[in-house]
Chains A and B, each alone.
Chain A
């Protein structure tokens, strides 16, 4: 069964450092998403991406965040200057827009 792949599975970074989270969506999917889940809280939408541009973003997705699809297969989330409150599980998802989203296994980001 096709899957969404995320790397790394766990990233520890110092406050103020930049991090890049990587995702390889399902190959025939056209819509890509990043969500995050702070421990004990709900899964929150960050950003959606279609046709090489952001189609929608939430209030969480401020100027510290950016997304890119650099080579037609990878889909990355960059956090420019991490804060303690950025510590969370970050999930990448993709969809063909007919059914539900398929989520990757997530990257646990710990900011210290």
Chain B
């Protein structure tokens, strides 16, 4: 059974702080990793993808991947109240297999 695990939160951070969201996955051969943001009642929105070990930065977001530890994280710098949402970690095992989601971490940014 392919599992993607996330702490459900809520994670509360003050405005302007760095929010750190973590995810572990069970299948060592997983190849592609994604972070989605989901506002309440809305659909998942892709914010970051990462495919190789290390860091990938896009604006205020940094994704970090460590395949040896089967761990992927998302850092949000200068957190804003509008970042308050549930962040979903998602993994693709190999080319043709479907995206598998974790349960998500609810982030609350306090003004």
Q: Please list the residues of chain A having a beta carbon within 8 angstroms of any beta carbon in chain B.
A: 33, 35, 41-45, 48, 50, 55-56, 89, 91, 93, 97, 99-106
| Contact present for B98 and A43 (CB under 8 Å) | no
CB of B43 closer than 8 Å to a CB of A: yes
Instruction: Give the number of A-B contacts (CB < 8 Å).
Output: 48
A77 to chain B, nearest CB (A): 15
Write the chain A residue with the least CB distance to B103: A42
The answer to whether A101 and B99 touch (CB under 8 A), given A42-B104, A43-B88, is yes
Bound-state Cα–Cα, A102 to B46, Å: 7
Minimum distance in angstroms from A51 CB to a CB of chain B: 11
Cross-chain contact A42 with B49 (CB below 8 angstroms)? no
Contact check, B95 vs A97: say whether CB atoms are below 8 A apart.
Answer: yes
How many B residues are at the interface, by size bracket? 20 to 34
A101 CB to closest chain B CB (Å) equals: 6
> What is the distance, in angstroms, from A61's C-beta to the closest C-beta of chain B?
11
Q: How far is the CA of A41 from the CA of B103 in the complex (A)?
A: 7
Q: How far is the CA of A103 from the CA of B45 in the complex (A)?
A: 7
